[in-house]
Amino acid sequence: MADSSTTPQRSEQELQEILSKPAGPKDDQLLKDKEQAITQLATLYRTNQDATSLAQLVHSSRPLMEHLAKAKTAKLIRTLLDDFSAIPNASKLQIQVTKDNIEWAKAEKRIFLKQSLETRLIALYIDTLAYKDALALINSLLRELKKLDDKMVLTEVHLLESRVHHALSNMPKAKVCFRAL
């Protein structure tokens, strides 16, 4: 792994070299090294406030994620998306990357990751005052969650829906959403 005493460009180069090595599903040590390289690169991009490179890293790390366990993949994607929050004026790119990852999760049939990312996208819509988009996504996600009977995520989505209606000054609906908990 790259040590912290090297220059950022050199450490970025070393980390990119680790990521470029081909790895199979049986090569556990290389998979761990690649996972660490991804998180270190994400930290470097967050520190340098380079949202574009971070977005490219999220996209380019997908082939590796196919070899990781679903829970580990979900944690890694959430960590990478969290790094956008520290970069000012990156919310539009963060929304786009989140949408891309939702599509990827659908294609890979990773339902729980998709629901988690959709919940995160709703929160991003609320933060960017895109209430109409948030409500549309909330409605489709609520239908899906009720079928799966996932109480924790269902509660979180109801709270987000209540926040949207409160922000829109629709107090009766905000109360109804809150009581649905």
- 148-164 pLDDT, tens per residue? 877 888 899 999 999 99
- 59-84 pLDDT, tens per residue? 998 888 888 888 889 999 999 999 99
Which residues are CB-contacts of 100 (< 8 A; sequence separation ≥ 6)?
58, 59
Print the SS3 string covering 93-113: HHHHHHHHHHHHHHHCCCHHH
Helices and strands, counts by H and E, the chain: 10, 0
- 3-43 pLDDT, tens per residue? 444 456 658 888 888 888 876 667 778 888 888 989 999 99
Which whole number is the average pLDDT over 119-146? 94
Cβ neighbours around 84 below 10 Å, total: 22
Which whole number is the average pLDDT over 89-109? 94
* All structural domains of the chain with their residue ranges: 1-109, 111-181
- 43-60 pLDDT, tens per residue? 999 999 999 999 999 999
